Chain A
Amino acid sequence: MDFSALNPVSLMVSLIIAATPILLAAVGELVVEKSGVLNLGVEGMMIIGAIAGFAISVETGNPWIGMLAAMFAGAILALIFGFMTQFLMSNQVATGLALTLFGLGMAALLGQSYTGMKPPSTPHLNIPVLSDLPVVGSILFSHDPMIYMSIALVTGVWYFLNRTRGGLVLRAVGENHDAAHSLGYNVVLIRMGAIAFGGACAGLGGAYLSLVRVPQWTEGMTAGAGWIALAIVVFASWKPWRLILGAYLFGGVTILQLNLQALGIGISAAYLSMTPYLITIIVMVIISADRRRASMNAPASLGRIFHASH
């Protein structure tokens, strides 16, 4: 077997591109869950972001305006969920699932006239000297800016949750909404903010898929990426840094197995294609081996309806 044909640099680049949509959606959902809300509508918000980002990019010729539009569209959809669950006290699981269905249908409708179109290309970073460095240059300094944005976003979320007062309040709301309420914090408002942020992130992840990873619009193109993002939040046991690990591991194994197949390695393709899921399961088993610690990480009020009793 000639492994020299396997170029680690381009593997890394494809890995990062495959992992970024999931990472973006997952970091948003992490904040939502930290505030004590379970929004299962990630898939729906992603696909709305995918079509909104695609359509606006095509209309304006500017992918950045498209991505902003995708964030906006994702946030609007999320706020519908927020209104139903926070003000009308609807069940979060059912509402989240409905949001996914609504998003998929709505995106298909909006996207009808956009199939077969070509989006404007997203420029890649080109820093003199740095981008031209061998190996390191292509792995670290020559992506489209969204990749760096996603890492910065994870860093920002980590900083916000663990190092700021606002983050502390958000976590308090997620751990015990009654206590937070009695301290005078506006639980519903804080949660609405988190939900909108989650929607914007999911929308951006969707736009990354339709503008960079595949570049095209096809109905149902997220094909379950939102569900993987949800799984990765649990995988990361609600810790932002582990999201990067989870997303890149999943993306990496997916890309690696495709490349190994193309290389003609003597392992059956059936086993290779199983590996991303298998490794995810194994890591989850390891992480949850200590059950007490694992359950401590989950926000205590996750998915519970908050009703302010006067």
Chain B
Amino acid sequence: MKFTTTLAAAAALALGLGGSAIAQTKAGFIYVGPVGDLGWSYEHDQGRQAVVEAFGDAVETTYVESVPEGADAERVMTQMALGGADIIFTTSFGYMDPTLNVAAKFPNVKFEHATGYKRADNVSTYSARFYEGRHVIGLIAGRMTESNTVGYIASFPIPEVVRGINAAYLAAKSVNPDVQFKVVWVYTWFDPGKEADAANALIEQGADVIMQHTDSPAAMTIAEEKGIFAFGQASDMMQFGPTARLSSIIDNWGPYYVERVKAVMDGTWASVDTWDGIAPGMVEIGEFSDRIPADVQAEAQAASDAIAAGTLHPFTGPINKQDGSVWLAAGETADDGTLAGMNFYVEGVEGELPN
């Protein structure tokens, strides 16, 4: 992998240097998986393509895929910066410290780090309020499960993922008091074989609805094969589970990427923290499957609309933490700071949260 990324970066730079001498804005993108994962990295690349479409020849984009989180990421970013990139999007949580390190060395290059919480004068952070989407599909899961067991394939125990589990669980619980969540941590974003194994293990333990916070459509394929339900993650994944797929959470990065690249071109770029949800369209809910009864579809749509309108917050008290201590009093909603650093399960989620 190390060599792949280095070579790919070198190739990207060679192409970049060979370009015309007109003052072009250069935007670089670093992905954690292959663009063909049909999930997380795929959607970021759709965002990159939206930039290409919006600005044509005025912007030159390069990307490096399958960059491991850690030292390799730092090397790829450095090469992009040396290659004249004006703005670099680093699209995985694990790129947080590498992004900060490289940004400190290249004060004139703008960095955009997805899903992180550390910023600098030339480092912005952006993320989507995926938990809003999790709330909507959590409602559907709670209604659709017959074994009252929802399986959840989780990647790494970071706030982003924990928040998703809590939001989905609370929503499912609100419509089905007997629902139980089984969470399996696979410690990878992308490994179709392992994701498939995890889905099988969960089904074996009685889950009849699978949710995932990993990047490949492997779990959807297994759900289709075993005749249970699942949700598309990051991208729609309809083609992998024509009957299994109930709905999906789709990441829509295009508008944000276009806006930020435009800001660099206009010289108005400033370090900000963006966290958009369903309302501005950064999080989209995929079309509902016909297998969801009409009243449940209406309920889920109403929840989605209420979140967009700002009248419903997925984390509204009373909510206790897993240990029984009070987190939110009745009617109280969670503040963004707590959500961004969420490191606890809410009451009712079983199992111990790894740290």
Check if B38 sits within 8 Å of A268, measured CB to CB: no
Check if B185 sits within 8 Å of A215, measured CB to CB: no
Contact with B along A8-26 (1 / 0, CB 8 A): 0010001000100100000
Residues of B within 8 A of A112 (CB): 36
Check if A101 sits within 8 Å of B3, measured CB to CB: yes
Contact with B along A262-284 (1 / 0, CB 8 A): 11101011100100000000000
Tell me the residues in window 191-250 of chain A with beta carbons closer than 8 Å to chain B beta carbons.
209, 213-216, 218-225
Q: How far is the CB of B149 from chain A (nearest CB, A)?
A: 10
Check if A221 sits within 8 Å of B216, measured CB to CB: yes
Q: How far is the CB of B18 from chain A (nearest CB, A)?
A: 20
Q: How far is the CB of A216 from chain B (nearest CB, A)?
A: 5
Check if A223 sits within 8 Å of B354, measured CB to CB: no
Check if B239 sits within 8 Å of A116, measured CB to CB: yes
A261 within 8 A of B: yes
Q: Give CA–CA (A108, B216) in the complex, Å.
A: 15
* Contact-residue bracket for chain B: 35 or more
Known: A216-B217, A254-B194, A258-B197. A263 touches B205 (CB 8 A): yes
A176 within 8 A of B: no
Contact with A along B213-241 (1 / 0, CB 8 A): 00011100110010000000000000110
Known: A223-B190, A262-B201, A270-B354. A115 touches B3 (CB 8 A): no
Q: How far is the CB of A249 from chain B (nearest CB, A)?
A: 15
Check if A18 sits within 8 Å of B193, measured CB to CB: yes
A111 within 8 A of B: yes
Residues of B within 8 A of A215 (CB): 221, 225
Q: Give CA–CA (A206, B190) in the complex, Å.
A: 17
Q: How far is the CB of B325 from chain A (nearest CB, A)?
A: 20
Check if B204 sits within 8 Å of A262, measured CB to CB: yes
Q: Which of B183, B204, B351 has the most CB of A within 10 A?
A: B204
Check if A220 sits within 8 Å of B225, measured CB to CB: no
A104 within 8 A of B: yes
Q: Give CA–CA (A130, B183) in the complex, Å.
A: 36
With both beta carbons as reference points, the residue of chain A lying nearest to B203 in the complex is identified as A262
Q: Report how many A-B pairs have Cβ atoms within 8 Å.
A: 125
Tell me the residues in window 1-59 of chain A with beta carbons closer than 8 Å to chain B beta carbons.
5, 7, 10, 14, 18, 21
A69 within 8 A of B: no
Known: A216-B218, A268-B352, A273-B187. A262 touches B192 (CB 8 A): no
- Give which listed residue, B36, B182, B187, B201, contacts A255 with CB less than 8 A: B201
Check if A116 sits within 8 Å of B192, measured CB to CB: no
Check if A219 sits within 8 Å of B197, measured CB to CB: no
Q: How far is the CB of A259 from chain B (nearest CB, A)?
A: 5
B158 within 8 A of A: no
Check if B38 sits within 8 Å of A221, measured CB to CB: no
Name 15 A/B residue pairs within 8 A (Cβ), A-sorted: A14-B197, A115-B36, A115-B38, A214-B196, A216-B217, A220-B34, A223-B194, A262-B151, A262-B198, A262-B201, A262-B207, A263-B182, A270-B355, A273-B185, A273-B186
Given contacts A5-B205, A112-B36, 20 further A-B contacts (CB under 8 A): A18-B197, A101-B7, A104-B4, A116-B240, A117-B239, A214-B221, A214-B222, A218-B38, A219-B35, A219-B36, A220-B33, A223-B191, A255-B201, A258-B184, A259-B204, A262-B207, A263-B205, A268-B352, A269-B185, A269-B354
